[in-house]
Amino acid sequence: MRQTEKIRNNRLVQAIQRAASVLLVAHIAPDGDAVGSLLACGRVFSSLGKQVTMALADPVPEKYSFLPGADAVVDAPSLSGRRFDLGLALDCGDAGRMGGCADAYFACDVTAQLDHHATNPGFAVHNEVDGRASSTGCILWRLMGALHVEADAETALCIYCAISTDTGNFCFPSTDEETLLCASEMRAAGFDLGMAARRIHLIRETAHVRLLGRALATLRFFAGGSCTSMRLNAADYAAAGAGNEHCDGIVNYGINLPGVKMAYLLDERPEGIVKVSFRAVRPYDVASIASALGGGGHRLAAGLRTAGDAEAVAAAIERAMAAQIGEAMA
Ligand SMILES: [Mn+2]
């Protein structure tokens, strides 16, 4: 069994040990890794006797509000005029990701960060950045090793949230041996996995499920069954009682089907805006299809917003997808 990678930055550990007051910040539009790492780090530093302030520029999302300490997170305006020995940023790929908390962070006597975005420019004095780590939660776990702090059940729950969300519930290829070792140690600390997994990974908002039902009713196969389309419009949102945020993830139902290589979800929004989400599996490439129509993204996940006619956009997408399938067959 491979040893956990150690924190390579001894000066970071010393800076933490010296600090009496610490400001912890994670990124805007916080996800499970941001919230989980922030709350776990807060508990670890509190256990070391430090004065801890946890801040987020945006509120903790409702689905993570059950995590221990979520109600102690403060907003950016409440930091004005306060000073801290150490500012530690978590899961922020660049300083702008701190949003309104950046000013208070850079006003700290010493700055540090834990992150796993390969493009991180190293904006802190002490940077612990590893682009190969599956989550910031895993890097925090390394730091806990360096600080000789063991996870209690509450800290373990927060780290489980961080690592399970950033790995797509341990499905993404970033789920390495270290991730599973970390998960194993968290499991042993005794948090309620069944409850946490249900809250974080299984429960969906009712409006989302109703909207999903309407999208699935439009599911159509083309290009010999290797591509799918789904459609939504303003009437679907109204019938489902759904808002824009309830569309998240619906396109995945179109790609996660046997034999399907590419999928898109076309969403006719009010004011004549057409929103399209694309998904592909290797070696197909939806980024090129999206960008040809004015959108962008990654090869396997891309998006598009256009004022174009919905039928013309759909026809262009299906031609481009069918062409890619045809090339691959040739
Ligand atoms: Mn992350």
> How many A from CA of 166 to the centre of ligand 1?
6
148 & 169 share domain: yes
pLDDT value, residue 329: 87
- Domain final position from 202, 237, 263: 202
Q: What type of residue sits at position 257?
A: L
Who contacts 329 (Cβ-Cβ below 8 Å, separation ≥6)?
none
Same domain, 58 and 178: yes
Q: Is residue 44 located within the same domain as residue 19?
A: yes
Q: Please state the pTM of the whole predicted model.
A: 0.88
pLDDT at 314 over 60: yes
d(CA 3, CA 202): 32
Q: SS3 sequence, the chain?
A: CCCCCCCCCHHHHHHHHHCCEEEEECCCCCCHHHHHHHHHHHHHHHHCCCEEEEECCCCCCHHHCCCCCHHHCECCHHHCCCCCCEEEEECCCCHHHHHHHHHHHHCCCEEEEEECCCCCCCCCCEEEECCCCCCHHHHHHHHHHHHCCCCCHHHHHHHHHHHHHHCCCCCCCCCCHHHHHHHHHHHHCCCCHHHHHHHHHHCCCHHHHHHHHHHHCCCEEECCCCEEEEEEEHHHHHHHCCCHHHHCCCCHHHHCCCCCCEEEEEEEEHHHEEEEEEEECCCCCHHHHHHHCCCEECCCEEEEEECCCHHHHHHHHHHHHHHHHHHHHC
Does residue 1 lie within any of the structural domains? Answer: no
Ligand 1 centroid, distance to 276 Cα (angstroms): 25
Least confident of 1-10, 181-190, 222-231: 1-10
What is the mean predicted confidence (pLDDT) over 325-329? Answer: 92
Q: Which of 67-71, 107-111, 269-273, 309-313 has the lowest mean pLDDT?
A: 269-273
User: How is residue 134 written in tokens?
Assistant: 């599956």
Domain identity same for 246 and 175:
no
How much distance in Å is there from the Cα of 272 to the middle of ligand 1?
A: 35
Rounded alpha-carbon distances, angstroms, from residue 111 to 76, 105, 108, 124, 246: 17, 7, 6, 5, 37
Task: Give the Cα separation of 111 and 105 in Å (integer).
Answer: 7
Task: Give dist(CA 100, CA 113) in Å, integer.
Answer: 17
- The answer to whether 263 and 297 have CB atoms below 8 angstroms apart is no
Residues 14 and 154 in one domain: yes
Q: How many domains does the chain have?
A: 2
For residues 159 and 145, what is the distance between their CA atoms, to the nearest angstrom?
Answer: 14
What's the gap in Å between 214 CA and the centre of ligand 1? 31
Give the domain CATH number at 16. Answer: 3.90.1640.10
Mean predicted confidence (pLDDT) in 261-270: 96
Rounded distance, CA 22 to CA 96, Å? 20
Same domain, 316 and 197: no
Cα of 135 from ligand 1 centre, angstroms: 5
Tell me the per-residue pLDDT of 64-73, one tens digit each, with 9 for 90 and over.
Answer: 999 999 999 9
Confidence of residue 7 (pLDDT cuts 50, 70, 90): confident
pLDDT at position 245 is: 85
| C-alpha span between 123 and 18 (Å, rounded) | 21
Same domain, 146 and 261: no
232 and 135 inside one domain: no
**How far does the centroid of ligand 1 lie from the alpha carbon of residue 187, in Å?**
20
- How many angstroms is it from 138 CA to the middle of ligand 1? 10
| Alpha carbon of 26 to ligand 1 centroid (Å) | 10
Cα separation, 115 vs 53, whole angstroms? 19
pLDDT beyond 90 at 270: no
Q: How many other CB atoms sit within 10 Å of the CB of residue 169?
A: 14
Calculate how far, in angstroms, residue 33's C-alpha sits from the geometric centre of ligand 1. Answer: 5
Confidence check: pLDDT of 1 > 80: no
Q: Look up the domain containing 281 and give its range.
A: 207-329
**Does one domain contain both 183 and 250?**
no
How far is the C-alpha of 314 from the C-alpha of 278, rounded, in Å?
A: 12
- Between the CA of 29 and the centroid of ligand 1 the distance, in Å, is 12
Query: 214 and 170, same structural domain?
Result: no
Do residues 266 and 313 share a domain?
Answer: yes
- CA distance linking residue 115 with residue 138, whole number of Å: 10
Same domain, 194 and 213: no
What was the pLDDT predicted at 4? 55
Average pLDDT, integer, range 209-222:
98
Q: How far is the CA of 236 from the centre of ligand 1 (A)?
A: 32
Percent of residues, the chain, with pLDDT higher than 70: 98
CATH number of the domain bearing residue 286: 3.10.310.30
Q: How confident is the model at residue 6 (pLDDT cuts 50, 70, 90)?
A: low
For residue 4, tell me if it sits in a domain.
no
Tell me the average pLDDT of the chain. 95
* Domain edge (last residue) among 141, 172, 202: 202
pLDDT, residue 298, reads 87
pLDDT digits (tens, 9 = 90+) for 8-35: 788 999 999 999 999 999 999 999 999 9
Distance CA 2, CA 211 (A): 45
- Is 5 within the bounds of a domain? no
The predicted-structure confidence for 178-204, as pLDDT tens digits, reads as follows 999 999 999 999 999 999 999 999 999
Query: Lowest-pLDDT range, 18-22, 96-100, 287-291, 297-301?
Result: 297-301
- Ligand 1 centroid to Cα of residue 32, in Å, is 8
